[in-house]
Amino acid sequence: MRLAALRQKNWLMLYATDSLSDAATSHQLSQQLSQQQSQQQPHPLHPALFQQAYWRERNLVVGEAPGRGSSLFLQAGDAEQWVLRPYRRGGLIAKLSQKRYLWLGEERTRAFRELRLTATLYDQALPVPRPVGCCVTRFGATYEAALLTVRVPGAQALASLLAKGAANDVLLERVGNMIKRFHQAGLDHVDLNARNILVDPAGKPWLIDLDRCRLRKKGSWQARNLNRLERSVVKFTGSPDTFLKIKSSYHSSEVISN
């Protein structure tokens, strides 16, 4: 996957050239921005693509995901939907600013890091959504950002399936195998929980939300990932037995399978 960067005034964009460039000039997204915006920015890629208002004004919002960032599902083309996720803070620091982050350089922004990581894993044929692009808008010493990825068609969160008692043994084994593959690739997913695992209609699990995640050498972080997921699974099932099936599959998976 080839990534390209675009810099204009106070915003920076990192995008997959085979995703965002084509879509930005498609029949869906070629609708002109306001005359003022068009005069200011003749390039077909514009930060407005990363703003919720752009999509709402064109009636291209087809759904919304629960969570702090209020991710939107977008109809980006006839056969493809995207997920727009603005970066939002949680915890006590959110009382100071929910969406501003300290500027330490473009490559250290959360959006650039997540997009590059997602692209790396995608190129390894690991089950992550195809990245589209990210945009960072700088405000002096701070910045705001948003990320676009391709939506996994028809997918449900593992959390939802667990809560409904609809996660069978085959699926749980696949989840354990998937996590092992990511760990073999060195991915430390700092927020590994049942909401960040999607399951498509074919029963294939996918891993999402790689914000603050990174590639590392083998270490104790792998056990911390599993412990975090165990707490999440127990939360939705009320029993530790379900996670034991995931854990068993994880430890019995020795070979990476693409």
Catalytic positions, written as ranges: 191
The DSSP element (H or E) to which 7 belongs, if any, is strand 3-8
Q: Which two structure tokens, joined as six digits, stand for 158?
A: 């593992």
Q: Give the three-class secondary structure for 19.
A: coil
Rounded to an integer, what distance in angstroms lies between the CA atom of residue 121 and that of residue 140?
32
Q: Which residues contact 180 (CB under 8 A, 6 or more apart)?
A: 249, 250, 251, 253
Rounded to an integer, what distance in angstroms lies between the CA atom of residue 202 and that of residue 234?
24
Helix axes 241-252, 169-184, angle to 10 degrees: 50
Q: CB of 129 within 8 A of CB of 151? A: yes
Structure letter (DSSP) for residue 147: E
Rounded to an integer, what distance in angstroms lies between the CA atom of residue 256 and that of residue 181?
6
- Phi/psi of residue 15, nearest 5 degrees: -150, 155
Closest to 182 in 3D by CA, of 149, 157, 205, 153: 205
- Phi/psi of residue 11, nearest 5 degrees: -125, 155
